[in-house]
Amino acid sequence: MISRDEAWELVKNWTDSDRLRIHALAVEAVMRDFARRYGQDEELYGLVGLLHDADYDRWPSEHPNKIIQWLSDRGELDISRAIAAHCPSAKNLRDTLLAKALVASDEIAGFVIACALVRPERTEGLLPKSVHKKLKTPAFAAGVDRGEVAEGLRLIVEIVGGTVDEHIQRIIAAIHEKRGELGLVAQVSN
């Protein structure tokens, strides 16, 4: 399996946008947390999260085909298939826990970061009800596909149980744990 260091180098080489690099790190954190909680391979899940948008900056119109091909050429078929499944047009590939976990982590991780960035406390004290409220505001983080957020949360509740709020809280906690690396340290008032 590709190493985490190799994967991060690829992300850095292919992704100029700090925003997209932060997104990759956030989805990696959420995927690793999911793997730990549900007895899955943390490295595999983390790599899928880290690499899922690696080609987006350089080849947006071909996303995710470049990263899928790069991984397939190296024999990383589980990773490439899960990444292919995160595209709304590939719902037929969402038949593994790995693929479903990525769909349930991708858009919502970006949305949680957007929610945190408008709060001086960032992720500190961020609650699922605040995330739900922002999800109902189409102008807020308009680039986040609300349909994919809902589908991802539906898939994850269906396969591992729990509630939508429990999963959102888990995602907030995973992002909060990496807040320094993600630029989400609370703003201190003087």
Judge contact between 162 and 153, C-beta under 8 A: no
> Tokens representing 118?
């408008």
pLDDT by residue (tens digit) across 9-58?
Answer: 999 999 999 999 999 999 999 999 999 999 999 999 999 999 999 999 99
Phi then psi for residue 115, to 5 deg, are -60, -40
pLDDT by residue (tens digit) across 92-123?
Answer: 899 999 999 999 999 999 999 999 999 999 99
- Measured from the Cβ of residue 139, the count of other Cβ atoms closer than 10 Å reads 5
pLDDT by residue (tens digit) across 68-91?
Answer: 999 999 999 999 999 999 988 888
Question: pTM for this one?
Answer: 0.96
Phi-psi region of 47 (alpha: psi -120 to 50; beta: other; left: phi over 0): alpha
> DSSP labels for 44-106?
HHHHHHHHTTTTTTT-GGGTTHHHHHHHHHTT-HHHHHHHHHTSGGGGGG--SHHHHHHHTTH
- Rounded Cα distance between 174 and 178, Å, is 7
Arch. (CATH architecture) of 4-177: Orthogonal Bundle (1.10)
> Tokens representing 114?
């957007």
Report residue 189's pLDDT band, with 50, 70 and 90 as the boundaries: low
- Rounded Cα distance between 132 and 126, Å, is 11
Phi then psi for residue 182, to 5 deg, are -95, 5
